[in-house]
Structure 1
């Protein structure tokens, strides 16, 4: 694999940092021969046995013992930071308004909201009928329901059309396998529906007694079936209304905003298909809107007189088409908002009199209001160089009020309501930072690095005013770069603990995301995946060149597919970073993509490629972090995972760390932290996650010699 190095002399960090950590012996994982042979390529994977806890194999206990040993090791290595970590935790927690309430959302005659109480980890889901002065109904007390559970996630709250019933999903393992519950809002009685292994939500037909839900494969966790359940009947006899045979597709069921249709969406990375059913006829048959087409994605929005279709058919950056309600085939589609080469059409939000389009141009999202009577368009404008803007929950169709959220690296999360008719904008709520926050004490910029192939890579950066650009300031660079997920500049109250101690924080908008349009994504996936990694390296080198930092003060962070980014970059350019934080990292790409029993694997073929294909296999192997570890120096590394992770299994980071320990030639620190009770998203409480952030910050602070 090609290696990138800065053309300057870099002082060895190991001699500086080795005295800061105790001389504890790191766990050494056992090796067992395991041969992988495919396409004439034979590879020994000595840590393959670590899959046994997942596979329920003979070495299950040994796997857990190893993970516990690694936990004991990192705890010992970071023991002296415990008081500082507690201080950081309390500092970040103190900025959060513990007793708080969300902005109420009006839906079908009721105002719905959540509220939190001081000292409580979760929330209460509430409503008021007709007016905010009406008596409060506590629909669900999640604080009470979560008692006794190390992890508890309640989600998918769905109210029946007659407002009398609530269905919701619960996961108390952190594996995203939800059980559905029903609460009768008149009697207060809650019933376990006996419907398990779902995505966590259900949609009501208009008869108030029929729900549709998604069922997962219990092993692969792929969403495979849409089922129909009638209240009061045996869930074992639920009818399958749709079964997805293509295991590269995700499926879901939802209800149109105008409440007229139940919709089933089946989609992969490159193609999709939608089915629809009149919500008044739950026992009817779903119709195919348009059979799936190769390399064509589409999604639909029903209006009173037609369907709108967001699609990339003959439109790289997507466009909006329209078609009659009774003629849904592609031959009837006509352009409504034509394709534009410089604008990515992201989504549409429908109202009776208006449409609001979410579009992306020059790396930033904009919201465009479209008057359905006059066809006049107007974009909402903002004056900060980098920001995040998005539509909020807008369930009411017959309204001229539109809610959106806005934030930047220096502007706390703000919720606005725009009168689509008059243009009046009202601030409903802005995130309150307890203890005070002065926006004018910080600076945010939009920078541009040049990649090796000449591509301009946007970088959003924030730091406290007074930071000297002399190369001596620590800087944390973050990125993701996969699945077309755009990472936009946003505020973080926890990040203040970093900025106030002299760190700058930067976000690289690298290829593999969709920040600069659909081509940005296409150029960072499959056989072009390495662009993601080299873009990140080029962004880091640019920040060093411009003296925002230097290699002995530069840190990198990424999670999940962003953890893959960390692993690849650590192999390709290890001397550019003093430290890396790789969270729930997807680092054993080849082995995982070859094993279809591992959750979500087949869904990923359009993102990474199918290694059963020879060309895809060898390209994947050329960048997979686990495959490309060499006998050389690596940065200081903090790696985190969760034993019950359903997205990236625990054994990927465990194998990666074990091989790094065996191969690396430096004396830098390598720590693996496994949450034994959690999964991909970490802890479920609203404060517990701060402990993980405190550890990440303490790790970097320790390397920088910052102890208060």
Structure 2
């Protein structure tokens, strides 16, 4: 029997300390504001800087959570073992050609971290360039960031994070010797770009509030303090990222918030280059640039192209007045991404929650699509490193079909399978069923649901269900193959993804209908999906476990407040639940860029009231709640550790029944949880064991 335990020691009780926010003629009480450390910036860089009182409280919460879940210890161990059994331990990616070499990653048997490797282009023995397992030794957390090689393949710039705070250190490796140069760049974010001659490296620097705000040029062999400032963004609400055009003539400095963007080009052949503006920023106009010869190919929503279109512009003057339609806007068909090759243009688009890849032959204007037969599936485009080629790569999977990597010849239309994801413990797609159904929201919107269950699962309303949701920032949840979820599905669960408003599964309007003043649609859509699963006989009220992370964790907090009776349990991973207080704190790394998504409650009384109406922390009420597991990371710069901590404290102090209410705080990781492919499974097993125990507790 899987059950929650009653610990000998009661749950921790957070001290209540009066703290009142007064704004727009209103008062909001925040009795647990003290949990936010005054030195939070220092904590992001060094977890040991956390004040002792807060550390002791978090450790007490972790101890209580382990005591509640002590009865699942054997189950968690079994879950880790079976999930690990589905991972090919000595796995390797398909090598990506670039000039004389092909680059790839692989894992060694038992290894936690990737090895970055290369081999001769036409095959042969591979060489390890970066050994993630060796580099991780001595660190509780380790993750690679951006990795970029020079055009002559002589050096490799590589970024790593050893705290989980996404503040990277960049080193440069001399590939002929395997040794790192003395150069060391700190507080780095985003991508890396080499100058054409390989003597200088461009990178994004974080500011004092942890925001990616500046681009600098580092000349090899010089100290970081001497690095030249190339670009500085003055708007605290805009983030800076760095990439390259596929033709590699330019680095692209991309700027933006959630509604507006701007790009600058940096000539990589000019060691003293200054950035050149593509088109000046215009509110709610977004664009991304690619280069083809002496022209740019631009993906944009300009001129009312709600679901985006592709335009061209001359490199000599790419301002808005010179944009000309190449692939016109088609309402309901959203263009997600594009890649320019010397003879072809590739775009990834989605219509009614189904993706497809479309190839345009630039010489003839003829285009064709790569299509698939399954009812619901995931498709990813990988353009590759090379520009003058007819080959592109894509990855296909579905909830039942493991990932398949194909090389596709855009001229001959030949498709070559390069790799099929192996499941060492075995996987029979025929043993499972995937399908799509629709829920009807209160306003009549049809909300897609992607489903997975075993073919022998009884569909009489008795099955438990895990319902996953996100619904923010226009991010769509793919119906892709997930080996881990089979551990629940094989135990009789129905797995469902609720493609709620706030994502872009049904186009850009699906996103805008789930943000700011329309945010409640996201929550109502999720509840409608839960009801639809019950009405269709897949499950029943009280047998559903809801799961979501980050902004999806906010969704979890909202539905726990508004429809607790539907759920046996809630798994909220790094949950963004203290929405109002976070949006009122302009010093936090993500707050100014988030105002276009949620509204600015500092300046707007309407936004203040709107956010207050749904912010999960502020709407905890005296009622019975389902079992709730909140998972956080101490060095998380995106959803700070105090958000789930405060939420759990207020839930326990306010609820009239139900539970248990558990906090799991990873004291050595950030937004992504534990690093290492096997270590991470322990957190997945924790969530799944909690889901199983939640259903069991409801009978």
Deviating more after overlay: 313-322 vs 270-279: 270-279
| Structure 1 partner of 2:27 | 42
Distance 2:463 2:285 in 1: 47
| Structure 2 partner of 1:311 | 300
Does structure 1 residue 274 correspond to structure 2 residue 269? no
Partner residue of 1:166 out of 119, 136, 156: 156
Give the aligned length: 689
| Structure 2 partner of 1:590 | 580
Which runs of structure 2 are paired with 1:224-239 in the superposition (5 Å)? Answer: 224-239=213-228
Which runs of structure 2 are paired with 1:334-345 in the superposition (5 Å)? Answer: 334-345=324-335
| Structure 2 partner of 1:137 | 127
Does structure 1 residue 80 correspond to structure 2 residue 71? yes
- CA-atom RMSD in angstroms: 1.7
Which runs of structure 2 are paired with 1:423-442 in the superposition (5 Å)? Answer: 423-442=413-432
- 8 Å CA contact retained: 1:53, 1:59: no
Distance 1:363 1:703 in 2: 31
Shift of 1:136: 2.5
Distance 1:410 1:17 in 2: 27
| Structure 2 partner of 1:573 | 563
Distance 1:660 1:141 in 2: 44
> What secondary structure, in the 3-state scheme, does the structure 1 residue paired with 2:657 have?
coil
Shift of 1:20: 5.8
| Structure 2 partner of 1:687 | 678
Partner residue of 2:291 out of 284, 302, 306: 302
Partner residue of 1:421 out of 411, 426, 431: 411
- 8 Å CA contact retained: 1:169, 1:201: no
- 8 Å CA contact retained: 1:85, 1:691: yes
Distance 1:138 1:525 in 2: 45
Partner residue of 2:442 out of 446, 452, 473: 452
Does structure 1 residue 404 correspond to structure 2 residue 369? no
1:240-262 C-alpha deviation (Å, 9 max, x unpaired):
11100111111112111101112
> What secondary structure, in the 3-state scheme, does the structure 1 residue paired with 2:88 have?
coil
Residues 461, 54 of structure 1: CA spacing in aligned structure 2 closer, same or farther, 3 A cutoff?
farther
Does structure 1 residue 636 correspond to structure 2 residue 627? yes
Shift of 1:40: 1.0
- 8 Å CA contact retained: 2:621, 2:655: yes
Distance 1:509 1:450 in 2: 12
- 8 Å CA contact retained: 2:450, 2:479: yes
Residues 227, 573 of structure 1: CA spacing in aligned structure 2 closer, same or farther, 3 A cutoff?
same
Residues 17, 577 of structure 1: CA spacing in aligned structure 2 closer, same or farther, 3 A cutoff?
farther
1:509-531 C-alpha deviation (Å, 9 max, x unpaired):
00000110000111111111111
Shift of 1:80: 1.7
| Structure 2 partner of 1:610 | 600
Partner residue of 1:553 out of 543, 552, 574: 543
Distance 2:36 2:123 in 1: 53
- 8 Å CA contact retained: 1:97, 1:432: yes
| Structure 1 partner of 2:645 | 654
Deviating more after overlay: 159-168 vs 695-704: 695-704
Shift of 1:23: 6.2
- Runs (4+) off by over 6 Å: 16-19, 56-59
Which runs of structure 2 are paired with 1:19-38 in the superposition (5 Å)? Answer: 21-22=6-7, 24-38=9-23
- 8 Å CA contact retained: 2:2, 2:692: no
- 8 Å CA contact retained: 1:168, 1:201: no
Residues 192, 546 of structure 1: CA spacing in aligned structure 2 closer, same or farther, 3 A cutoff?
farther
Shift of 1:305: 3.2
Distance 1:60 1:297 in 2: 42
Distance 1:544 1:293 in 2: 46
Residues 285, 200 of structure 1: CA spacing in aligned structure 2 closer, same or farther, 3 A cutoff?
closer
Which runs of structure 2 are paired with 1:50-89 in the superposition (5 Å)? Answer: 50-52=35-37, 54-55=39-40, 60-89=51-80
Distance 1:109 1:59 in 2: 49
Distance 1:168 1:49 in 2: 38
| Structure 2 partner of 1:109 | 100
Partner residue of 1:370 out of 350, 360, 369: 360
- 8 Å CA contact retained: 2:88, 2:422: yes
Shift of 1:536: 0.3
Distance 2:115 2:102 in 1: 14
Distance 1:40 1:556 in 2: 36
> What secondary structure, in the 3-state scheme, does the structure 2 residue paired with 1:368 have?
strand
Residues 91, 19 of structure 1: CA spacing in aligned structure 2 closer, same or farther, 3 A cutoff?
closer
- 8 Å CA contact retained: 2:101, 2:121: yes
| Structure 2 partner of 1:542 | 532
Distance 2:2 2:119 in 1: 57
1:622-679 C-alpha deviation (Å, 9 max, x unpaired):
0000111111111111111111111100100000000000000014211111111111
- 8 Å CA contact retained: 2:183, 2:222: no
- 8 Å CA contact retained: 1:24, 1:77: no
- 8 Å CA contact retained: 1:636, 1:669: yes
| Structure 1 partner of 2:169 | 179
Shift of 1:75: 0.7
1:448-494 C-alpha deviation (Å, 9 max, x unpaired):
00000000000000000122222111000001000000101011111
Does structure 1 residue 361 correspond to structure 2 residue 376? no
> What secondary structure, in the 3-state scheme, does the structure 2 residue paired with 1:100 have?
coil
Distance 1:556 1:174 in 2: 26
Shift of 1:194: 2.9
Distance 2:660 2:583 in 1: 30
Partner residue of 1:257 out of 246, 258, 263: 246
- 8 Å CA contact retained: 1:53, 1:63: no
- 8 Å CA contact retained: 2:83, 2:484: yes
- 8 Å CA contact retained: 1:364, 1:386: yes
| Structure 2 partner of 1:10 | none
> What secondary structure, in the 3-state scheme, does the structure 2 residue paired with 1:578 have?
strand
Partner residue of 1:121 out of 105, 109, 112: 112
Give TM-score scaled by structure 1 length. 0.95
Partner residue of 1:507 out of 497, 521, 535: 497
Shift of 1:264: 0.9
Give TM-score scaled by structure 2 length. 0.96
Distance 2:182 2:12 in 1: 44
- 8 Å CA contact retained: 1:180, 1:192: no
> What secondary structure, in the 3-state scheme, does the structure 2 residue paired with 1:621 have?
helix
> What secondary structure, in the 3-state scheme, does the structure 2 residue paired with 1:579 have?
strand
Partner residue of 2:668 out of 677, 685, 700: 677
- 8 Å CA contact retained: 1:444, 1:460: yes
